[in-house]
Amino acid sequence: MNIQDVRAIVTGGASGMGRAFVLALARDGGDVVAADVNDEGLASLLTEAEGLPGTVRVRRADVSNEAQVVALIDGARADMGGLNVLVNNAGIFRDGLLVKVDRETGKVKGSMSLANWQKVIDIDLTGPFLCTREFARSHIDNGGTDAAVVNISSIARHGNAGQSNYSAAKAGLVADTKLWGTELARYGIRTGAIAPGFIQTPILDGMRPEVLQGMLKGVPMRRTGTTAEIYSGVKFIIECGYFTGRCIDIDGGLVL
């Protein structure tokens, strides 16, 4: 698939990597609908995208809400006169240890709440499930022939301390990428996942320099990645017609 032929939805498109994907796709000539719950971010995205070769549109949608996902998929198809790419990028963190033990008493003094577990699963795993299900339904019902789903996973899928919820969601997303690649190939839908490491986004920008440098000691390349480097993986999955069901690690060689 040529990028100029792309009619894409990018979830979590108002900020961070999602915003970078939206602008890069439009810069390369694709048409994009950015979906997010961040109204201010969506508004500023429209301003930033003015004058690009491709067209950027925005829609407010919570990916964990089934009705809103159905409306997003059908509305985006109508807006762009077609739909052939889905980038499942929306995600959140609610970090915490499974149990937290008091050093003095040796007793448990806290734990990851069920609410924080469920919220991350809802957005980071159920969201891509709903979006991909409805994307596949729309593609098949409209007689589509060539489409791609790109799932943004994480190096945390291997298991990262303090991220039981996030690690589970991102591991599940890679498993679903493989499964969906098998199930959907017959309908002309390819799937791929990207597992970024430490990427320079507003989340990392807010870290204290000494904390970030400590994190980077485990990265062989001794630096953060860029959103442009992650986009190169997104672009590869979209363009390579023989790629499906696999995950690409873009993490500077980091091993958790």
Q: Which residues are catalytic?
A: 166
The torsion angles phi and psi of 134, rounded to 5 degrees, stand at -70, -35
Please spell the DSSP secondary structure of 199-249, one letter per residue. Answer: B-SHHHHTS-HHHHHHHHTT-TT-S-B-HHHHHHHHHHHHH-TT--SEEEE
The torsion angles phi and psi of 89, rounded to 5 degrees, stand at -110, -25
| Contacts of residue 248, Cβ cutoff 8 Å, sequence gap at least 6 | 192, 193, 194, 195, 233, 236, 237
CA atoms within 13 A on the CB side of 46: 12
Closest to 200 in 3D by CA, of 230, 225, 220, 221 = 225
| Contacts of residue 91, Cβ cutoff 8 Å, sequence gap at least 6 | 12, 123, 124, 152, 154, 166, 169
